[in-house]
Structure 1
Amino acid sequence: EERDYMYRYYAHDPDSRINLGIRRRLAPLLGKNRRRIELLNVLLFSLPGTPIIYYGDEIGMGDNHYLGDRDGVRTPMQWDDGRNAGFSQSNPQQLFLPVIIDPEYHYHTVNVAIEDRNPSSLLWWMRRMINMRNRFQAFARGSFEHIHCENSNVFAFIRRLDSEIVLVVINLSRFAQSVELELGEWQGYQPVDVFSLNRFAVIQAQHWQLTMGMHDYFWLQLLPEKRIESPPDYEPLELDCQEPWTSIFAGRLKERIESELLPRYLGQRNSAGLKRAQIRNVTIQSSSIINTTDLEAVLLLLRVSYSQAEADTIFLPLAACSANEALEWTANNRGLIFARIAQTARYLIDAAWHPGFHRSVHRILMDGGSEVGAPPEIRCQADQAGSINLERPREIHLAKAGRRNTTFLYDNGATFKLFRRLEPGINPDIEMISALNRSRPDNRLVPVHLGSCALLYKDKQKYVFGMLNQTVTNTGLVWQSSQEAALQFFDQILSGKTEQLAGAAFQLNNPFSPPQEKVVSFLEETAGLQLSALRHLASQLALLHIQLAEIAAEPDFQPESFSTLYQRSLYQSMQSRLKKVYALIDRLSRTGDDRMMNACNSVLALRPSILHAYQFLLAAKLEARKIRIHGDLHLGQILQSGGDFIFKDFEGRGDRALSERRIKRSPIRDLASLIQSLHRASYQALHRQIQLHEKDIDFIRQWIPVYFSYQSIAMLNSYHEAIKDSQLVPAEYGSFIQFYSAFQFHQSITTIGRSHELYNDPFEIQTALQALLDVHTFINGTASPSAGEHR
């Protein structure tokens, strides 16, 4: 019966049958259906045993079942569209078996050479699948465990080896299917797609719901849930409160809270605003109470001292709720729970995760007033909110839990950013966006500012802890689209497109060299959309700087001309930073692995060249101006909205004092830091290419300087063209490039230092070192890698 079913389904033509089987290749067997071909190969690679691929199946080669015996699948391999499909140069009549000339599978259209040039071909898909399979030992030596599901169209199983767990789910149907998998054993685990690294919903119950498209498949690695705040060994302590809990921060329990609870709680958190340093002590600077029908909360201002870093002022709002509410609102992230109150069995959680906190802040903001109580007073100030009808938020969703800020999206079209690390004074993020909104009511370069919240003390010191902006309709961050563009470029160069450059006198397109038509044509073909987007981004950045310079009526925004004294100060600052970071690089050159040591030694050799670039600042007084700038601009601070770009997060670098972040600087700093992040996006994209072979990764690594140089020149040309008449930068292009070169070297040097301080991760440090090497290559125009075939 099963054989009869197989014949009816796969072998309608009796000539395709032989003995008890079928004499067909995989592609014609499946009617050349790409999804079904992929599906069966996924099964082959997923099931236990050693997968064997019959030659030609990797390119979807056809057969000739009219030949006798099994000769129909033994025809010559189709390498190219030349003589005998590239299999042999002999007379075609001398071949033992003829090549395939069936129109659907003709060797002119189905061959290795053609598919090798197309990153979307079956051949490239097979290569990626094989490389991905080789990364997981569970497929080779792991156990096989079938997963029960009621839907018979879906086949699911686990491959497991030690802590490596891969869930394989395959939809055998030609229709979309919904399935519930019995995964109770893996509750608390999060499935992660091994190809895209996208995270799926955490397995919370016995049954896990999944929807699949026609002939769809998933390889999902099961990992313990990665929560915002949930260290494995943290358990909230219990507080014995005889008085109302809102008064304990100034009462008898204050000493225990400062010495025990707060250091323990803050020390295990990643999104509370603290530096990456050992906490020495914590003191409660002040506490403010909010008591409404929606919320019972205390807003704490803490002074946190570190062993080897400057002290911080940290904003910590705490709210009381029941055990069930704490579990729901924190999504079982127990690291967000501060303590348990013994008498009432209630929990104190970070109030940012309490819906009532957001509704209370919104009410105060819309009323345009304050929550009066013992100092400090909670003061909320509306900006454009009066002219925009904002309903009370019903649904509140976490957008981002960063180290310094936590951002939430409201269903009423607003975005609330909670600042964790505070300083008294004017918040530059609010100041910059508000000023741009006032000067240009129709401004489309920044979000619309709606209002802010602060703690106001008797001495008029103000600590801003929150800002409300209108939510920007967007398609994502430029950081993400730049990585996707880099991945597409990598596919293009791996597919053999670089062959057209073989034999060319190939130099990188540095700012001073004439355009190279052959290379420009190649890059416009392979990365034209990205280059066009970057040109537009650069012109938008120039427009932002021009608009900031035009807010001259406000003293804090009035442009200032460069002076020889300022230029010398700038030179000394850059030279001092260079000396400090080079001392770090010198240490790394003696302690890292071979790749790290080679990169460090190469960077150390660039010191005279970098100092020479800095000398431009001392040559003569520059016709340029200082203005208020973004201060920490990178691709992750820019949203794509249709064909335009929206700049956000104007608060500047968090490792600098508030007053320093408000200093006027050259707008070239923003351009240099933005171009620097383009380089990092390419290397991050390459880092994600886990399915590629090492030799392919090495080949791509050679091409990143080329890609980066043309991205840089596209942005520099567009930016200069848009801003040259503003007097903000040198109008003459050569002077502009020399001016930019000094700042770009300084940015690259600074990035190396910050990568070591913030991450201390070899990948981040090597990426920063490589960025400096590639910046130097771009500015000086040294020779490119080989442009020929890499295999």
Structure 2
Amino acid sequence: MLSNQPVSSTTAWSSAATDTDFWTMLAHTLLPSYVNTCRWFAGKARQQTGFSVQTIHSLDLPDGDLAFLLILEASYADGVPENYLLPVSFLTKPDAAVRADIPEKGRIGELTLDGQRGLLIDAIYDERFREVLFTAIYQNQTIAQPNGQLNFHRGKGLEEGDDKLSSQVLPVDSSNSAMTFGDKYFLKLYRKLFEETNPEVDMVAFLTDESNFTHIPAFGGSIIWKQPNRADVTLGMIQRMVPNDKDSWMQTGDYLNDFLYGVPQRMFAIREDVFDKVELLGKRTGEMHCALYKPSRDGIPTDTAFAPEPFTDEYRTFLIKRFEDLLERRYALLIDNYTKLDPLAQRLAWVFMEAKEMIETFIADFRTRPLDSLRIRIHGDYHLGQVLATSSDFVIIDFEGEPESTISERKIKHSPLKDVAGMIRSYHYAVSAKLFNSTETDNIDPDHLQRVSDRWFYLIRDTFLDAYLDVFGAPHPLFKNNSEINFLLLIYLLEKAVYELGYEISYRPAWVKIPLKGIIDVVREIEKIRLSDGHSVHDVPMLQTGLLQTKGV
């Protein structure tokens, strides 16, 4: 959004890179109001104390002009500052025809530089800038800068002969910016920056360049800022575009519409092709994890970032602490909001709270139980919305990891069963949301709906899990045996459902029963382990399932 304040400087655009006073002036005038209108700026709700341009990278445009990649620091009254990427270019009066194509959200403000008036814009809306980025990646360029260098790396997914392609900015507002080239490639420019390489770039590059797994948008290249004695910073990544009908959440919703139709007539029917799709997704998930499992071979070590690791004490301590903190916050939130819940959710909440000691004992068991399974890099935020459905297959996308985790945490290796747990929880959400939030089921007893929902979910869950495990065969180093598979899957399922609980209590109280039911399912399985495990703690109360019973059921 344009600033109403006229801004001018005696500095010429061609020499602006070295004029710190000019950028300080912009950081106090045009940039704050503009950045606060941008979808990618995450600091809107925080008390801001100012912006400053920390680093300026220069890029030569094809016509001899310049564009700058600004590393903009946002400071706050509380907490650490954040760094954002803001590319800028300057359009002068002769560029009137070009200016007309710049959308309002790309216009930073009117500016007069060295007597020449023009428009300062976000450079992603400048076709010259987009061309420079793509060409630099295609040619594997390294461009020296006063503060390090920009490395443009080309991956296997960028084909020969594609050096000159038309481009456009996708109109979707998100936490990053997206550009397309020739309707064949997709360039994501990361806006919020971290002093580490982006996990998505690491993962997609590894899967494309180091494996035969093709069910991702192939890695076309990356833009990395390298500095002496500092960690690399990822600025962007290019991938192949994938034609798709919809994501798997929408596809599953379509299948559930057919299932939903029969529920009021007390008909239970699942089309055979639903099982085929679920089996295929289980298979593709297993193949992805097989591709990520790269032990050293013939004495040649694997990149340490992807080498398999055991369940160390350090990892167990990390996971347990995160889980215990999460659990404590969720119990408090549930107690504070108990009266807002519907009767079914209240009964589930009681069972969950009564099972607190059993859950704590289960977590303590994780600390000491011998585990010979291995950990690897995983997707990290795996659910139906992260899988695109093509005409006959699936493509897995978005490897950035858990949005609320730090970059370092997103790179921690887990059992691949953490991804499996994410997908199982996603299927549970799909059926529960459909059955409990449809007008067709308004007059059906909630307990009956729960039983119908459970039957669909258990069939789909087992179909997915069986197909997934069939990919590995037995034994496999990632999974020592069935006992460890069951135990670890319960750990990750419980963590995921407890995490979901917080969001639903805060924003969708009507949906609280969904994660609560997921928690109760896990606790039932924990109880089975207790009953069959000679090391179980006998003075821990059993699960109070009688609380779930209602009159007439």
Question: One fold, TM greater than 0.5?
Answer: yes
Equivalent position to 2:164, from 355, 372, 392: 392
The aligned residue for residue 355 of structure 1 is 127
Asked if residue 328 in structure 1 is aligned to residue 101 in structure 2, the reply is: yes
| Contact 2:107 2:121 (C-alpha < 8 Å) held by counterparts | yes
Equivalent of residue 279 in structure 1, options 48, 51, 61: 48
Letter in 1 for 2:476: S
The question of whether the paired residues in 2 share the 8 Å contact of 1:563 and 1:621 is answered with no
Q: State the alpha-carbon separation in 2 of the partners of residues 248 and 597 from structure 1.
A: 59
| Counterpart residue identity of residue 535, structure 1 | E
Cα displacement (A) at 1:749: 1.4
User: Retained in 1: the 8 A contact 2:72–2:83?
Assistant: yes
Question: For 2:443, what is the secondary structure of its paired residue?
Answer: helix
The question of 1:270 aligning with 2:39 is answered yes
Structure 1 293/563 Cα, relative in aligned 2: closer, same or farther at 3 Å?
A: closer
Q: Which of residues 501, 515, 524 is equivalent to 1:771?
A: 515
Q: Aligned-pair distance for 1:387?
A: 5.4
Tell me if structure 2 keeps the 8 A contact 1:391–1:412: no
**Which residue in 2 is equivalent to 1:138?**
none
Q: Which amino acid aligns with 2:275?
A: L
Q: 1:408 aligns with which of 161, 179, 198?
A: 179
Q: Which amino acid aligns with 1:536?
A: L
Partner of 2:84: 314
What CA deviation, in whole Å up to 9, does each residue of 1:502-541 have, x standing for no partner? xxxxxxxxxxxxxxxxxxxx4xx32543333122212221
What is the rounded CA distance, in whole Å, between the counterparts of 1:703 and 1:778 in structure 2? Answer: 18
Kept in 2: contact 1:624–1:727 (CA 8 A) = yes
Aligned-residue CA RMSD (Å): 3.5
- Aligned partner of 1:242 in structure 2 is 10
Pair 455,609 (structure 1): closer, same or farther in 2 beyond 3 Å: same
**Unaligned 5+ residue runs, structure 2?**
297-301, 526-544
Contact between 1:274 and 1:314, CA under 8 Å: does it hold in 2? no
Note the alpha carbon deviations across 1:607-650, whole angstroms, 9 max, x for none. 33433443442463022111111112222222223433222222
- Determine which of 239, 242, 250 is the counterpart of 1:472: 242
Q: Does structure 2 retain, via aligned residues, the 8 Å contact 1:319–1:354? A: yes
Pairing 1:725–2:475 present: yes
SS at match of 1:320: strand
Q: Is the 8 A contact 2:504 2:511 kept in 1?
A: no
In the alignment, the residues of structure 1 paired with residue 356 and residue 240 of structure 2 have an alpha-carbon distance, to the nearest angstrom, of 46
Q: Which residue of 2 aligns with 1:680?
A: 429
TM-score under structure 1 length normalisation: 0.59
Q: How does 1:95-114 map to 2 (within 5 A)?
A: none
Task: Supply the distance in 2 between the matched residues of 1:563 and 1:679 (Cα, whole angstroms).
Answer: 31
Kindly provide the CA deviation profile for residues 7-32 of structure 1, in whole angstroms up to 9, marking residues without a partner as x: xxxxxxxxxxxxxxxxxxxxxxxxxx
Residue deviations 1:592-614 (CA, integer Å, cap 9, x gap): 46679837556434433433443
Q: Return the alpha-carbon distance in structure 2 between the equivalents of residues 287 and 424 of structure 1.
A: 16
**Aligned residue runs from structure 1 range 65-76, under 5 A:** none
Check 1:551–1:389 CA distance in 2 against 1; reply closer, same or farther (3 A cut): farther
Aligned residue-pair number: 516
Partner of 2:533: none
Q: Which one has the bigger helix percentage?
A: 2
Query: Which fold has the larger relative contact order, with Cα–Cα distance below 8 Å and residues 6 or more apart in sequence?
Result: 2
Superposed, 1:408-557 pairs within 5 Å as 408-411=179-182, 413-440=184-211, 442-459=212-229, 461-494=231-264, 496-498=265-267, 522=268, 525-550=269-294, 552=296, 553-557=302-306
1:34 is matched with which residue?
Answer: none
Q: CA deviation at 1:717?
A: 2.6
Could you tell me which residue of structure 1 aligns to residue 138 of structure 2? 366
Residues in 1 aligned to 2:455 and 2:421: alpha-carbon distance in whole angstroms: 18
SS in 1 for 2:475: helix
Give the alignment of 1:35-54 within 5 angstroms.
none
Counterpart CA distance in 1 for 2:205 and 2:381 is 18
CA distance in 1, matches of 2:44, 2:202: 24
8 A Cα contact 1:705 1:778, kept in partner: no
Give the secondary-structure state (helix, strand or coil) at the position aligned to 2:270.
helix
* Deviation by residue 1:83-116 (Cα, 9 ceiling, x = unmatched): xxxxxxxxxxxxxxxxxxxxxxxxxxxxxxxxxx
What amino acid sits opposite 2:247 in the alignment?
L
Amino acid at match of 1:375: N
Residue 154 of structure 2 is aligned with which of 362, 374, 382?
A: 382
Q: Which secondary structure does the structure 1 equivalent of 2:62 belong to?
A: coil
1:58-96 deviations in Å (ceiling 9; x for gaps): xxxxxxxxxxxxxxxxxxxxxxxxxxxxxxxxxxxxxxx
Cα shift at 1:741: 1.2
* SS across alignment from 1:550: coil
Give the superposition deviation at 1:567.
Answer: 3.8
Structure 1 position 416, deviation (Å): 0.8
Q: 1:685 to 1:461 in 2, by over 3 A?
A: same
Mapped to 2, the partners of 1:675 and 1:616 lie a distance apart of 23
1:299 to 61, 69, 76: 69
* Rounded Cα–Cα distance in structure 1 between residues aligned with 2:520 and 2:189: 39
Assess, with a 3 A threshold, how the Cα gap between structure 1 residues 267 and 652 changes in structure 2: closer, same or farther: same
TM-aligned CA distance change 1:277 to 1:490, over 3 Å: farther
Per-residue deviation, residues 104-150 of structure 1 (Å, max 9, x unmatched): xxxxxxxxxxxxxxxxxxxxxxxxxxxxxxxxxxxxxxxxxxxxxxx
**Which residue of structure 2 lines up, in the alignment, with residue 650 of structure 1?**
399
Change (3 A) 1:286 1:687: farther
Aligned mates of 2:320, 2:351 — CA distance in 1: 23
The structure having more radius of gyration, on CA atoms, is 1
After superposition, what is the alpha-carbon deviation per residue over 1:527-576, rounded to whole angstroms, capped at 9, x for unaligned?
54333312221222122112211254222222122246644553344223
Once residues 349 and 417 of structure 2 are traced to their aligned partners in structure 1, the CA distance between those partners, rounded to angstroms, is 27
Deviations along 1:411-460, one digit per CA (max 9) or x if unpaired, are 152111111111223332222222222332x4213232121112333546
Structure 2 CA distance for partners of 1:425 and 1:601, relative to 1, 3 Å: same
Check whether the contact 2:108–2:121 (CA below 8 A) recurs between aligned residues: yes
Instruction: Give me the whole-angstrom Cα distance separating, in 2, the residues matched to 1:291 and 1:596.
Output: 63
Hey, what's the Cα distance between the residues in 1 that align with 2:45 and 2:431? 27
Describe the SS at the equivalent of 2:277: helix
| Structure-1 separation of matches of 2:102 and 2:445 | 43
